[in-house]
Amino acid sequence: MLNLIFGILYLLSGRTARANEGATGSRFVCNAIPPGAEPGCGYGPTGNRVQSTSPVEDELRNTIIQLRETILLQKETIVSQQGTIKELNSKLARCESSVDDTSQSRARGQGSRRKEYGKNTMGDLPRDPSETIDQLGKTMQSLKGRLESLEQQLRLPGTNLSSSGGSGGGGDGGPVAALPPLAPLPTELRELLRQRLELLEGQLLRKVAELEEEKSQLLNETADHRQRTESTLSSLLDRITELERTNNAFKSPEDFKVSLSLRTNYLFGRIKKSLPEMYAFTVCMWLKSSASPGIGTPFSYGVPGQANEIVLIEWGNNPIELLVNDKVAQLPLSVSDGRWHHICITWTTRDGFWEAYQDGERLGTGDNLAPWHPIKPGGVIILGQEQDIVGGRFDATQAFVGEMSQFNMWDRVLRPADIIGMANCSAYMPGNVIPWVDANVEVMGGATKAPLEICEDRAFDS
């Protein structure tokens, strides 16, 4: 019986408790929160966020979002300002470096200073001083404008993420909403920028003034240099004219003589032209010498492989000799009396026949001198020296001492009448292979050329 009573009381107490719970509506429901969601935010059983109906809560949430975006924008703006400051510091360092280079260039003198104009002191400056000044002015104005634009932008009441490179929205290029006003630029940063700008402007103005001064100095130096150059050129032209007048004092190109006054191995004359291949030749010249023993070598012609292709020589107490291809014929000539003598020698490869003329008279003939040998082309004709190699290795004991004129050469045997006409000054025949003209003869080692009218000079010798 007691058990039945206790069971009835238990059932009645359970119903009363459930009724009280229904009346108050207080119960706890547990739901899963999606990853990354904030605790305390309501989510439905499906995981979707339950929107709060409280306007105060929504306003707080929007304010927090805007503050986050403002902080991000402020951070990006500071990074951009730091980049601008670094760029200005780099420009200022370049300006200081250019000022140091300019002061060093002044100590190096005029030549070094001109080289400095070719240096790129600002990284992109032209070489011309006037263009450098213009470019410096443009650079200064550009930097000043960029700084003023940056300062003005930072003073604006608001900005736009699309123009400042913000990361909030607009990733596809579309417009974004305006953000709350940025904080004003700190006073220290604004003052630093202003000081940097003033310093940079001062550096650029000093650089421009220095370039203007150097440009003026360069113009003055250029004018002085031009005047000195013109004066020097005028003096040179006068000297050249005088020398040409002296050289052209020859009444005709052949009226000159070559003087070889010492028996050395470095005084000689050189014929600029060479010989063609020849099967006969005639060589004529005027000689004056009193050297003893022997007058030496009036001329020699050497070719590769044969330095004694043609040589006229009087060496020691030997008579005058004619060498053709290093074969020798002695000539009955005598010209060492200190007077002018006209000498002509003919040769032909046929039987090696030769003739020797002195003052228009044939004094000797002979044959078998290098018969059937052609004179080789492309050699060197030297006046006054015998060649041991082509064009050189002279022996002082074989050097000609005296004067010579009208050295002419033909590729044929001249008639006796032609030789006589030249010897008695009734005719003049320039050589068809080697003519005696001033432009064709060069002198070396102290040998000289001087005007000469051979016939008049010869008359004084008589």
List of residues 6+ apart from 422 with CB closer than 8 A: 284, 342, 344, 360, 406, 428, 429
pLDDT at 426 (0 to 100) = 87
Q: Kindly report which listed range (217-221, 340-344, 405-409) carries the lowest average pLDDT score.
A: 217-221
Return the axis-axis angle of helices 129-155 and 187-247, rounded to nearest 10°: 170
CA angle 225-228-230, nearest 5°? 105
The token duo for 257 is 């003589």
At residue 69, the pLDDT reads 80
Q: What is the mean pLDDT of residues 286-299?
A: 89
Paired with 268 in beta bridges are 444
Task: For the chain, give the percent of residues with pLDDT over 70.
Answer: 67
pLDDT (0 to 100) of residue 16 = 47
b/e sequence 120-146, b meaning 16+ C-beta within 10 Å:
ebbeebeeebeebbeebeebbeebeee
The rounded Cα 113 to chain-centroid distance in angstroms is 18
Report the DSSP beta bridge partners of residue 354. Answer: 347, 366
pLDDT at residue 235 in the model:
77
Alpha-carbon gap, residue 355 to 413, rounded angstroms: 9
- Note the pLDDT tens digit of each residue in 130-173: 666 677 667 767 767 776 676 666 555 444 433 444 444 444 44
Structure tokens at 244: 């040409």
Position 188 scores a pLDDT of 76
Distances (CA, A) of 56 to 44, 60, 271, 450: 21, 6, 117, 122
Q: What's the confidence (pLDDT) of residue 43?
A: 47
- For residue 255, give the nearest of 456, 454, 461, 424 by alpha carbon: 454
Position 362 scores a pLDDT of: 94
Residue 266 has pLDDT above 70, yes or no: yes
State the Cα–Cα distance between residues 422 and 424, nearest whole angstrom: 6
Q: Average pLDDT, stretch 339-352?
A: 94
Residue 181 has pLDDT above 70, yes or no: no
pLDDT digits (tens, 9 = 90+) for 393-451: 899 989 999 999 999 999 999 999 999 999 998 888 999 999 999 889 999 988 999 88
Locus of tokens 């510091």 = 89
Cα–Cα distance, 242 to 253 (Å, whole number): 17
365-390 pLDDT, tens digit per residue, is 999 999 999 999 999 999 999 999 99
pLDDT given at position 363? 95
Select the highest-mean-pLDDT range: 1-10, 97-106, 247-256, 446-455: 446-455
Structure confidence at residue 19 (pLDDT) = 46
Predicted pLDDT at 431: 92
Q: Which two structure tokens, joined as six digits, stand for 348?
A: 């032909």
Q: How many CB atoms lie within 10 A of CB 65?
A: 11
Q: What integer pLDDT is reported at residue 239 of this predicted model?
A: 67
Average pLDDT of 217-242? 78
Q: How far is CA 151 from CA 127, 164, 193, 194, 444, in A?
A: 34, 14, 9, 9, 81
pLDDT band at 191 (very low <50, low <70, confident <90, very high): confident
Q: What does the DSSP assignment read for 101-140?
A: HHHHHHHTHHHHHHHHHTS-TTSS--SSHHHHHHHHHHHH
- Give the mean model confidence (pLDDT) for residues 266-292: 92
- Mean per-residue pLDDT, 330-355: 93
Average pLDDT of the chain is 76
Tell me the pTM. 0.48
Residue 206 scores a pLDDT above 90: no
Please tell me the predicted confidence (pLDDT) of residue 29.
53
* % residues pLDDT > 90 (the chain): 32
Using the CB atoms, write b or e for 3-13: b if 16+ within 10 Å: eeeeeeeeeee
